[in-house]
Amino acid sequence: MINQLKADVQKIYDQFDASHDFQHIERVLQNAESILAAEPEADQEIVRIAVLLHDVSDKKYSDTKENEEALLNSLSLTEDKKLHIKEIIESVSFNGGNEVEAKSIEAKIVRDADRLDAIGAVGIARTFAFGGAKGRKLYDDAEEARAQMSEEEYRSKSTASVTHFYEKLLLLKDLMTTEKGKQMAEERHAFMEAFLNQLKDEREGRA
- In angstroms, rounded to a whole number, what is the distance separating the alpha carbons of residues 197 and 2? 42
All structural domains of the chain: 2-203 (1.10.3210.50)
Supply the pLDDT for residue 140: 96
Are 108 and 175 in contact by the 8 Å Cβ rule? The answer is no
> Per-residue pLDDT for the chain (207 aa), expressed as one digit of tens each?
999 999 999 999 999 999 999 999 999 999 999 999 999 999 999 999 999 999 999 999 998 999 999 999 999 999 999 999 999 999 999 988 899 999 999 999 999 999 999 999 999 999 999 999 999 999 999 999 999 999 888 888 899 999 999 999 999 999 999 999 999 999 999 999 999 999 999 999 997
Supply the pLDDT for residue 97: 87
Supply the pLDDT for residue 79: 97
Supply the pLDDT for residue 29: 98
Supply the pLDDT for residue 96: 86
Other Cβ atoms within 10 Å of 6 Cβ, number: 15
Q: What is this structure's pTM?
A: 0.95
Report, in angstroms and rounded to the nearest whole number, the Rg of the chain calculated over CA atoms.
Answer: 17
Which residues are CB-contacts of 111 (< 8 A; sequence separation ≥ 6)?
88, 91, 92, 102, 177
Report CA-CA distances (Å) from 159 to 125, 131, 145, 194: 16, 9, 9, 21
Supply the pLDDT for residue 108: 98
Phi, psi of 157 (to 5 degrees): -90, 125
| Percent of the chain that is helix, strand, coil (3-state, to 5) | 65, 0, 35
Supply the pLDDT for residue 156: 84
What is the separation of C-alpha 181 from the centre of its chain, rounded to a whole number of angstroms? 13
